[in-house]
Structure 1
């Protein structure tokens, strides 16, 4: 049997590629099964289980993903607060949504009174910034300053209105999600002032409190979503093997909640998938791609001269 276009090196390459595909598929299956086993066997931690959680920027897709995770996996009651009165979320027993301009102190005070009547108190506040970069034009810079000022006012209003009730019920957690590097640095630079504010609130409500300022944990979670949106566009359509390295909102919400459970004051959350997650989430695509390659590969001749 003669083969004019197929050399021994080609035969070795096809055979090697076949075994590489088989090993990659086996590794992907093992990684997927191991991650599923760890997730099911690891016990749920107390910090989030059956808590009452307030989430700001309620109409954002990440806020809704956090809400779904907290209700479905942690059996929490969730209060979504939005600066827009365009209500697009269906409310039910575990979810309530309110309109409030957090930069307006009176509106936040009224919101805290309503929540105290309906939910008694809030255990955890998850506050998000506005995801606005500095920009390059004077108009963009001015918009950044206005939004940053509004974010700071909102954060201070949250502390002054919700920390007293937290102190009265034994403590709580204030989590700030920062989506740009600039806002993260600004928050960390002001961290000592925010702790001093919590201490002053604790002293002013000491007679009615059962815990001190140390029971209020301030946490910062940084995930560079603005950089992700600018630098990592989706792959072009028509590509046979495409892997989206960017996390979905639900996956990012899971990482953020794990960061909250870690009890660390500063957590950096990657917005991209790891190798383990990439393999476990794309087993079917990897298998289909490998089988397609094997079907299209030239047959190895039994004898080559």
Structure 2
């Protein structure tokens, strides 16, 4: 079966956020079966009411940083949605403010859990089934700031850099077994939250969520069959 057919099963974490919604809509337009994961079920129901809140889709509250929560989610998804062909890991977190010499362990752990360990927990839940089938796509959402450390953003930059190293390592481990693992690395996303927090910023170089969703769609398609362990930078 061609993996770009409309019967594909897609898991999207962080689905209730601005980018998650755009990614979900992209795959809904393809006719895919969606398993949409976020922290709160009520928020998912509100966002996807009338679009993806009934079979063959599934809305699911889960903790992406918990091995146990993701293992349970994978079992429920398999029973309800069926075969999963693509995992898009959008969920993550952002914090800034503390300098390196004043960085708290709590802030460090939050960023590492949300942005790095979550990728481990999510792929633990879904990659084994892909390996059994010999096919699958994994796309993570990294950030352009993974390239270097930035003032007052040490934990965030380090955690996104760790995510990229995990993407590269997993790609090396599974690329010969029919599975593609890649990421997109946006600059600033054009979301309502970013517009609110930076009202006077020049948004001309910001990345629209629909553009990011199409880029993720490319990495999840047969057109990217030869792309392995790459970080597609989005934005200037």
Say yes or no: TM over 0.5. Answer: yes
Instruction: Map 1:283-298; keep pairs closer than 5 Å.
Output: none
**1:49 to partner: Cα distance:** 3.3
Cα distance per residue 1:83-103 (max 9 Å; x no partner): 234332321335321001122
Partner of 1:187: 163
1:1-305 correspondence runs (5 A): 46-50=2-6, 51-72=8-29, 74-87=30-43, 88=46, 89-90=48-49, 91-137=53-99, 138=102, 142-179=106-143, 180-181=145-146, 182=157, 183-191=159-167, 193-195=169-171, 214-225=177-188, 229=194, 233=198, 244-261=204-221, 262-263=223-224, 264-265=227-228, 266-271=230-235
State the partner residue of 1:38: none
> Judging changes above 3 Å, is the alpha-carbon distance between structure 1 residues 52 and 64 closer, same or farther for their aligned structure 2 residues?
same
Residue deviations 1:138-174, cap 9 Å, x none?
A: 4677424323224333222222221122123331111
Secondary structure of 1:130 counterpart? coil
149-158 vs 101-110, which deviates more?
149-158
Q: Which runs of 5+ in 1 are unaligned?
A: 1-45, 200-211, 237-241, 273-305
Distance 1:144 1:235 in 2: 29
Quick check: which one's strand share is greater?
Answer: 2
Unaligned runs of 5+ in 2: 147-156
* CA distance in structure 2 between the partners assigned to 1:256 and 1:192 by the alignment: 17
**Count of residues in Structure 1 that have an aligned counterpart in Structure 2:** 207
Deviations 1:70-111 (Å, cap 9, x if unpaired)? 111x22111110123433232133532100112222221111
Aligned Cα RMSD in Å?
A: 3.3
Check 1:189–1:269 CA distance in 2 against 1; reply closer, same or farther (3 A cut): closer
Structure 1 CA distance for aligned equivalents of residues 140 and 133 of structure 2: 21
Counterparts of 1:243 and 1:188, CA distance in 2: 26
**Separation (CA, whole Å) in 1 of partners of 2:77 and 2:184:** 25
Over 3 Å counting, the alpha-carbon distance change for 1:188 and 1:246 in structure 2 is closer
SS of equivalent residue, structure 1 residue 173: strand
Distance 1:98 1:269, change over 3 A: same
How far residue 57 of structure 1 moved from its aligned partner, in angstroms, is: 0.8
Alpha-carbon contact 1:57-1:82 (below 8 Å) kept: yes
Are the equivalent residues in 1 in contact too, given 2:138–2:220 (CA < 8 A)?
no
